[in-house]
Amino acid sequence: MRDTDSRRPPAPNDVRLRKLLDDALTAPHWPEGFVMRPFEHRDAQALHALLEEAFDDGAEGPFDEWWQRISGDTEFDPDLCFLVIDGKGLLAGAALCWASGFVKDLAVHPDSRRHGIGEALMRHVVLTFRDKGAAHVDLKTNTVKNPAAFRLYERLGMVPVAWEG
């Protein structure tokens, strides 16, 4: 469920989606055996490995370059990166968000998919941004390459908006 940076030009079938943060938001339900916890600096390599595994497109690049790019970005706030850990202590999913209310990456490990982790992460993200006073949360996805993600976002009430936001 790759939701790439809004600052890159759109590819064919890319769409920007928005969730308005009203009072009708539902709290996340974490699947049994999975817990959400905040990102810690020591998690950076595991997060990179998850993104590489989940997307299998090589877009992240080597860890050192990726981490420098992410951690050095003015939009990066480690408090807006949420990790889901499985019963074995392994990283099962993550949401990496920009401070502007944009979900940069939402990833679930292939072995942990179809448990509701992506939905729970998105519900957590929208509540977090609402509590911070944001009016909406945006993300970018591809309707052809990521149809399951697109369907999830539609179920969560996200709607297409102009590319520029």
Mean pLDDT of 16-33: 92
Q: Which two tokens stand for residue 128?
A: 């977090």
- Provide the residue count of the chain: 165
- Its pTM stands at 0.90
Instruction: Give a three-class secondary structure readout of 47-84.
Output: HHHHHHHHHCCCCCCCHHHHHHHHHCCCCEEEEEEEEE
What pLDDT is stored for residue 58 in this prediction?
A: 66
Burial of 24 (0-12, 13-18, 19+ CB in 10 A): exposed
87 contacts 33 by C-beta, under 8 angstroms? yes
pLDDT above 70 (res 16): yes
Each residue of 110-149: pLDDT tens digit?
A: 999 999 999 999 999 999 999 999 999 999 998 888 888 9
> Rounded to whole angstroms, how far apart are CA atoms 153 and 39?
23
pLDDT above 60 (res 3): no
Torsion of CA 20, 154, 86, 57, to 10 degrees: -110
Mean pLDDT (the chain, rounded)? 90
- What the chain holds in terms of domains, given with CATH numbers, is 14-161 (3.40.630.30)
Each residue of 63-75: pLDDT tens digit?
A: 999 999 999 999 9
Q: What percent of the chain has pLDDT over 90?
A: 76
